[in-house]
Amino acid sequence: MHPTIPQAPTAAEAPRSLHATCEEARRGQCGYCCAMPGEPCAFSGTGPDGYHVARFAWAEASGLISATDFDVALETAAADPFTIATVIYDQGGTGMLTYDQIPPERRTIGDATGRLDEHNGALGVALAQWLARDDTKAEPDARRAANTAMDEIDAMLRELHELRSRLVGEIRASDDLSAVRVDALLERSRRERAR
């Protein structure tokens, strides 16, 4: 018995929803983080699951999603430019905004992940040079690499601190708006019960 080979939608077909595309992408193992089939790459427990761009690339190459489906998924990516490590969140049923619906001033918080990726890449190279040093002779390049590694760590810590600070402020503002909505609902409920 031969398994059925999935076929990508033809060009005439409309792209699937992001949720349907994520469901197809999760059928394979992630080539970036090695999440197993059926498991998300990013899981918060309270919000939507996330999948690395690498997983969508695999799904397209495997014929599970079309190039159009892949493009729709990439449009929701919070990083520009994106990499294989960029996480795309399954917004199926969550009521979350798509990337193009997010106000531009709010998108900048997502840019921090791209900057962290850049610092992390430079850190990886610098640490590899440091690890490969030969302590039996002078290695000024290895020492410079160690300094670069420290600089990248410091830059990442700065980015993380700024990101945390901004996130705390945004969470407070969002919670305040939530409280206003709850108060309005409670007031409406009280008025309806009083009738």
Q: What is the tens place of the pLDDT at every residue in 75-112?
A: 877 556 778 888 888 875 455 666 667 788 887 887 88
Q: What is the C-alpha separation between 110 and 129, in angstroms, rounded?
A: 30
* 135 and 54 within one domain: no
* 85 and 111 within one domain: no
Residue 10 has pLDDT above 70, yes or no: no
* 189 and 124 within one domain: yes
What is the pTM (predicted TM-score) of this model? 0.49
The pLDDT, as a whole number, for residue 174 is 86
Residue 18 has pLDDT above 90, yes or no: no
Q: Would you call 156 helix, strand, or coil by DSSP? A: helix
Q: What is the C-alpha separation between 116 and 121, in angstroms, rounded?
A: 8
* 109 and 46 within one domain: no
* 174 and 111 within one domain: yes
* 116 and 84 within one domain: no
Structure tokens at 168: 């705390």
- Structural domain including 56 reads 18-89
The pLDDT, as a whole number, for residue 80 is 63
Closest CA to 114 of 80, 88, 148, 160: 80
The pLDDT, as a whole number, for residue 79 is 56
Residue 57 has pLDDT above 70, yes or no: yes
Q: What is the C-alpha separation between 5 and 64, in angstroms, rounded?
A: 9
Average pLDDT over residues 52-73: 89
- Most confident of the ranges 36-45, 120-129, 173-182: 120-129
State the residue for tokens 């970036």.
32
Calculate the CA 55 to chain-centre distance: 12
> Which element (helix H / strand E) includes 178?
helix 140-194
Radius of gyration of the chain (CA): 23
Domain annotation covers residue 188 = yes
Give per-residue burial for 78-110: e unless 16+ CB within 10 Å, then b: bbeebbebbbbbbbeeeeeeebeeeeeeeeeeb
Residue 49 has pLDDT above 90, yes or no: no
The pLDDT, as a whole number, for residue 141 is 95
Residue 60 has pLDDT above 70, yes or no: yes
Span 124-151, pLDDT tens digits:
999 999 999 999 999 999 999 999 999 9
Q: Number of folded domains in the chain?
A: 2
In the structure, what pLDDT confidence band is assigned to residue 2 with cuts at 50, 70 and 90?
very low
